[in-house]
Amino acid sequence: MAEVLEGTTLVHGPRVKRFEADFAAYAGAPHALAVGSCTAGLHLAWFDLGIGPGDEVIVPAQTHTATAHAVEYTGARPVFVDCDPQTGNIDPEGVAAAVGPRTRGICVVHYLGLPVDMDRINAIAAPRGLFVLEDCALSIGAKYKGVHTGLLGDAGVFSFYPVKHMTTAEGGMFITRHADLAERIGKKRAFGVDRVVGERKQPGVYDVVCLGYNYRMNELEAALGVEQLRRMDGFLARRRENYLRLELGLGRLEGLRVLASAGGDEAQGSFYCLSMVLDEALRPHRADLVEKLSALGVGTSVYYPRPVPHMSYYREKYGFGEDSFPHAAAISYGSVALPVGPHLGPEDMDYIVDSVKHAISEVRG
């Protein structure tokens, strides 16, 4: 990053190209395009498909609002589907039931890094010609039947926001197997110009061939990305170790269950975090539990604090009730996510287990 600042090129430089090449090699992707954020990449995919008012896209209820917003930006309607209560991933049966004459695409989220059963999603999408987009914000390193997430549908987008597996401060990566799609996204992330700076024969001479956004990644972000990506294998190994140790320790405790995010032979997760779902008796004490954990030095989060259709914007626009999407709601209103990041080790996991045990016994009185 210091080299970038001391140099002459802050945008459209070699580091973005290098980061794209490195990421493509890491994921085994034929095409990788750096973008300003995961949200920007998701939006570009739907924008490129040309959807708008009257169209529908199936999205999970249990996700970050970005997944739904990316559809909403186009004027199309996000159609929410509830999740599998054991994993939090979108329920393929719910997807099949939600497909209608206006459906143009399906967006899946590999929730907490666990790959969705993509064979089932593709079997629903393929006969109807639906576009399948993978929101891979939490799934770098995750594979389904040996294939990296993002390459199982038509396109996938990763996030490098700070709390993710690796970061560029803000940033994202769009990957696809389709050369024509990659070429269009390359233009649409940069105003729709036919050639960017560096590709121009004469400085300042270019044409605009389509509508596009300013959704680029800059050289500083890419410099960070190149270095972070080099460490991904180590990061993931540590996350896996941490997760499995924490899962083992928490599995013995009464009053909670651990969301199944690790995967198995077919679907290998990327261990974003460990989410414990509290039982009925403990659920009313969640805030207290979180506070007690915080006092013990254990940071927590919730993925995600409400199902997206329960967020005011969507609830008011589409009229969803409190009791809609019960499985997503059970996770949102009854879970606590614990960290397994590479800054932590086995002793930290043991400390977290002891802390959870202690905090539960205190809230139970």
Contacting positions for ligand PLP (CB under 6 A): 37-39, 63-64, 66-67, 109, 135, 137-138, 159, 161, 172
CB of 142: closest distance to ligand PLP in angstroms? 13
Distances (CA, A) of 46 to 29, 42, 179: 20, 7, 17
Q: Tokens at residue 171, please?
A: 């940033």
- Looking at the Cβ atoms of 226 and 308, the one nearer to ligand PLP is 308
- Looking at the Cβ atoms of 138 and 278, the one nearer to ligand PLP is 138
- Looking at the Cβ atoms of 153 and 255, the one nearer to ligand PLP is 153
CB of 64: closest distance to ligand PLP in angstroms? 3
Give the span between the Cα atoms of 99 and 58, in whole angstroms.
Answer: 8
CB of 365: closest distance to ligand PLP in angstroms? 35
CB of 343: closest distance to ligand PLP in angstroms? 19
- Looking at the Cβ atoms of 39 and 103, the one nearer to ligand PLP is 39
Taking every pair of Cα atoms in the chain, the longest distance, rounded to a whole number of angstroms, is 75
Q: Please provide the DSSP assignment of 28-81 as one string.
A: T-SEEEEES-HHHHHHHHHHHHT--TT-EEEEESSS-HHHHHHHHTTT-EEEEE
Contact status, residue 336 vs residue 302, Cβ threshold 8 Å: yes
- Three-state DSSP class for 276? strand
Q: Please provide the DSSP assignment of 138-205 as one string.
A: T-TT-EETTEETTSSSSEEEEE--TTSSS--SS-EEEEES-HHHHHHHHHHTBTTBSS-TTS-SSTT-
CB of 140: closest distance to ligand PLP in angstroms? 12
CB of 65: closest distance to ligand PLP in angstroms? 8
- Looking at the Cβ atoms of 38 and 293, the one nearer to ligand PLP is 38
Burial degree of 253 (CB within 10 A; 0-12, 13-18, 19+): middle
Contact status, residue 70 vs residue 46, Cβ threshold 8 Å: yes
- Looking at the Cβ atoms of 76 and 109, the one nearer to ligand PLP is 109
- Looking at the Cβ atoms of 37 and 355, the one nearer to ligand PLP is 37
CB of 59: closest distance to ligand PLP in angstroms? 10
Give the span between the Cα atoms of 211 and 74, in whole angstroms.
Answer: 13
